[in-house]
A and B are shown apart, each in its own frame.
Chain A
Amino acid sequence: MSDSDEKLLAQMLKGDEDAFATLYRRRQGSVYRFALHMTRSFAVAEDVTQEVFLMLLESGRRFDSSRGTLLSFLYGIARNHVLRRIEKDSREQPAHPSEIEDCIASEDFADPIDDLTRREAIETVRRAIVSLPPIYREVVVLCDLEDASYEDAAAALDCPMGTVRSRLSRARAMLAARLVKKTVGIAYE
């Protein structure tokens, strides 16, 4: 049976490099994909993944298992880095949400759900997710794409589970509205 994250962390903090490597290999994918889906940037996802695990080396002792799993702790660190990055980027390059919507609108499709090929549909959803405000984007990424439990998501986002549920519901509605809106817009052109 493989060791739990918590046990690996304890060994890592005692200086066991193999434990760190095992923990990294087990969890880097989730952290990387979270950052990638939040930003759609491979470079940012790489930076964030590295920063998260450096922070684990630095502050792993701060992890408190009574407040959530180690994965939710890692998501929490990743989230802070991602939000800082999004904020910095939006200051340097003022946001143009319409650019993303224009991309969606420019897709040559009549019904994004039935008619698009699978790849195009996935790309469209990917763009639609990034066009959501960060507080909605992060719940979709965690709960729908990374399959995190509401409990883990709440621990990572430092908010009650009820908030996760309501944001997720709102986020899905926004996603649906964005996709349908574009379809209707094209249909009337």
Chain B
Amino acid sequence: MNKDPIPDLLRALAEADATEEAPPEIELRLRREFRSRKRRRMWTRLAWGASAAAAVLLVVVATWHYRQTAPALPQAEAVHEVVTDFYPLVNPAPPFERGRLLRVELPASAMRMVGLPVHAEHLSDPVQADVLVGEEGLPRAIRFVKFEAK
């Protein structure tokens, strides 16, 4: 009985081509690309970091300023919070794994930035907001808080 020759022929082909490899210039091109992407990533991170620092500074200043002028909030036990959906602050958003929620106070005009309606006469009224900050310090999203009597 004849042995099936196909496996032997396939093995012979595999052995004959076992040393076939991509030419070295491909590795050089890829390594150049690797370094170039690494540099671009570093500059992007620096830019993001600077933007994040500016955004956080803005929030801190706004909070400080409006705490000076804001009326006292109703007693915590007498009210409950109603929150809006989160609105993204970064588009497109980089991958998000972990972060913190910061409660800040902003002028109501900030609500217009995300498309929420605010009457013109209330634009400078203080509103509470939760800012979702990624672990790299970048503000990712914001939601607004309303207090309602229980």
- Contact residues of A with B, CB < 8 Å? 15, 17, 20-21, 24-25, 28-29, 31-33, 36-37, 45-46, 49-50, 53-54, 57, 61, 113, 118-119, 121-122, 125-126, 129, 140, 144-147, 172, 175-176, 179
Contacts and interface: CB of A to CB of B under 8 A. Distances in A.
Contacts of A145: 10, 13-14, 17
Interface stretch (B24-32, B47-55, B118-126): B24-32
Interface string B23-67: 100110111011101100100000000000000000000000000
27 contacts: A17-B35, A17-B38, A20-B30, A20-B34, A21-B31, A24-B30, A28-B21, A32-B21, A33-B18, A36-B20, A46-B26, A49-B22, A50-B26, A50-B29, A57-B34, A113-B5, A121-B9, A121-B12, A122-B9, A122-B12, A122-B13, A125-B9, A144-B11, A145-B13, A145-B14, A146-B14, A176-B4
Contacts of B33: 54, 57
A21 to B, nearest CB: 6
A20 B28 CA distance: 12
Contacts of A25: 27
Interface of B: 4-7, 9-14, 16-18, 20-23, 26-27, 29-31, 33-35, 37-38, 41, 95
Given A28-B21, A32-B21, A49 B26 contact: yes
A94 to B, nearest CB: 27
B33 to A, nearest CB: 7
Contacts of B6: 172, 175-176, 179
A31 B38 CA distance: 24
Nearest to A172: B6
A122 B92 CA distance: 52
5 smallest beta-carbon distances between A and B, as pairs: A113-B5, A144-B10, A32-B22, A49-B22, A145-B14
A127 to B, nearest CB: 11
A45 B22 contact: yes
Contacts of A33: 17-18, 20
B22 A28 contact: yes
Given A29-B20, A32-B20, A32-B21, A53 B30 contact: yes
Contact of B10 (A21, A118, A140): A140
Contacts of A122: 9, 12-13, 16
